[in-house]
Amino acid sequence: MYTVIKRIEISAAHSLCLSYESKCTNLHGHNWIITIYCRSEVLNEDGMVTDFSHIKRLITDELDHKNLNDVLPFNPTAENIARWVCDRVPHCFKVEVQESEGNTAIFEKD
């Protein structure tokens, strides 16, 4: 089994729709760190699980320097973003989304 890990940093804003009062319902930004884990039993014709630059492009083109509420069709929590990234990247099985020091959400496929 081959595993590749890509770490991406993006800058993006969001506001959360929450069922309780929170300052996070106001528009605010983070320097997000997204760590993407991909694996495969076989390598592609180029000898890779997937190209690191392809992983980066799939995520940064959509999210970097954006208001996440404008580009994502869901409440842009770290948990929801982790699942969206995992569904978008080929061979991905796990994603960690860190929105600030000490706050990380992880989505992992069964």
Which pLDDT does position 62 carry in this prediction?
Answer: 97
CATH number (domain holding residue 12): 3.30.479.10
Quote the tokens at residue 99.
């929105």
Q: What is the mean pLDDT of residues 38-57?
A: 97
SS (H, E, C) the chain: CEEEEEEEEEEEEECCCCCCCCHHHCCEEEEEEEEEEEEECCCCCCCCCCCHHHHHHHHHHHHCCEEHHHHCCCCCCHHHHHHHHHHHCCCEEEEEEEEECCEEEEEECC
Which pLDDT does position 48 carry in this prediction?
Answer: 97
**Domain count along the chain:** 1
35 CB-near residues (< 8 Å, 6+ apart)? 5, 6, 7, 8, 95, 96, 98
Which pLDDT does position 110 carry in this prediction?
Answer: 83
Mind listing the pLDDT tens digit for each residue in 4-45? 999 999 999 999 999 999 999 999 999 999 999 999 999 999
Which pLDDT does position 37 carry in this prediction?
Answer: 98
Which structural domain, as residue segments, surrounds residue 59?
Answer: 2-108
Kindly report the pTM of this predicted structure: 0.95
What is the percent of the chain where pLDDT is above 90? 99
